[in-house]
Amino acid sequence: MQPDNFGYQQATVSRSGASIDAGLKAHMQRVYNRMTLGVFITGVTAWLVSQSPALMQFFLGGPQMFIVMFAPVAVVAFGFNPARMSNGQLLTSFSLLSVLYGISFSVIFMVFTKESIAQAFFMTTALFAGLSIFGYTTKKDLGPMGTFLVMSIMSLFIISVGTAIAGAMGVNISMMQTIISGVSLLLFSGLTAYETQQTKEMYHPSYGEDANSRMAWSAALNLYISFIALFQSILRLVGNRN
């Protein structure tokens, strides 16, 4: 197995013993609690912004909408470094990212019915839980498909940006959006299982509380992004528009 971003070689560490099992359970719980916090912040932000025409106009009423759309990418790339940032800084960065996603997602309350949003959220939660359980319990090494999934998602992101620009120029992109949503659903489903397995394999109590907490932040971010992507894809596929 390749070393993770914190410099630990996972394959050289023994994983037997009740202390590891208890520590791993607490570690996974911490990851999911942080991920859930991000989803909560995003949902609340999206709803609050959608309720204010002034905020909608300020953030999404002109070319600035593209800044809002791409700001999360900038935060992930340049403002979230678990290997160097303190836990407090990581919390701040993660919260900022969640708010930015929430601002972008505020438009769904204008486009889709509330019933569709709720349905998509519960479907995403159920799917995410199933994929996480599979990733945690499977004995099959999901590592080989990780690189393929990441590269595919990067390619899909580029295609999505091009499609969004075409839509802003008046091109009918409804069919392309449906295809992108379907492919995104498949890719992020696989990525969720892979990331869950990686989160499990990365943990070991010998690394210490600080290092494991930093890895928990990294895992929470990865799973949060996967959850958001799954929700967005499902909503676009099954959501009823206003």
φ and ψ at residue 240, rounded to 5 degrees: -95, 130
Q: Is the pLDDT of residue 163 over 60?
A: yes
Pair 111, 234: CB distance under 8 Å: no
pTM for this structure? 0.87
pLDDT at 14 over 60: no
- Taking a C-beta distance cutoff of 8 angstroms, is the pair 223, 192 a contact? yes
Please write the tens of the pLDDT for every residue from 109-155: 989 999 999 999 999 999 999 999 999 999 999 988 888 998 999 99
Q: Encode pLDDT of 17-34 as tens digits.
A: 555 688 899 999 999 999
> What is the 3 state secondary structure string of 89-150?
HHHHHHHHHHHHHHHHHCCHHHHECHHHHHHHHHHHHHHHHHHHHHHHHCCCCCHHHHHHHH
> What is residue 128's predicted lDDT score, i.e. its pLDDT?
97
Do the Cβ atoms of 31 and 199 come closer than 8 Å?
yes
